[in-house]
Structure 1
Amino acid sequence: MPQIVFLPHPEHCPEGAVIEAERGETICDAALRNGIDIEHACEKSCACTTCHVVVREGFNSMEPSDELEDDMLDKAWGLEPDSRLSCQAVVADSDLVVEIPKYTINQVSERH
């Protein structure tokens, strides 16, 4: 079972976290299942960028992003070459190291 290492984030996981992920689930679903309350204002429908993450290790193990995700990512704060929307990035067989950016463009936090 692959692991996802979340780097420390002052709000979502101040100490960082190492979680087990199931192959075929999204980074967002794995995070939420393990108590990391990553924002997902559009309910994981690829219609916003609040779940934007940067995959620091293991990026190439995942299926590439599609055109819709790429279009949404263009609007994300702090976009990097290894950025993904965590609601769309599906875990494969490799471990991942993920950073949650400091900011999102979300004006209001829904706190699911």
Structure 2
Amino acid sequence: MGTIDTNAIAGSYWENITFDYDFTNAPIVLTQVQTDNDASFVKTRQNNITQDGFDLALENDEANLNSGHGTETVAWVAISSGTGDWDGNTFMAGETGDYVTEAFYTLNF
């Protein structure tokens, strides 16, 4: 888990994050923008997730895809796939694959 300050835009530049923990397989990675330093909307993207780390960038909305963005703080957490307990709270971590889109999708658990 950690944070990074970045203005990297997906498609032109990616930040490389290296894990401090030794995962045996590629973990599930969650990222979220923590600041609002630029007036335009932005979300996070991850790429090339391995057991050693991942690439992270910001992605603008469709109206601003080719423009830059101000520096934002992004928080991230990496969790091994499966179920576990975190401070008395049970969790399940997994991935949906590339077939989940903006259309409704049933996820059984």
The two structures have a TM-score, normalised by structure 1, of 0.31
As a proportion of its length, which structure holds more strand? 2
The two structures have a TM-score, normalised by structure 2, of 0.32
Which structure: larger Rg?
2
As a proportion of its length, which structure holds more helix? 1
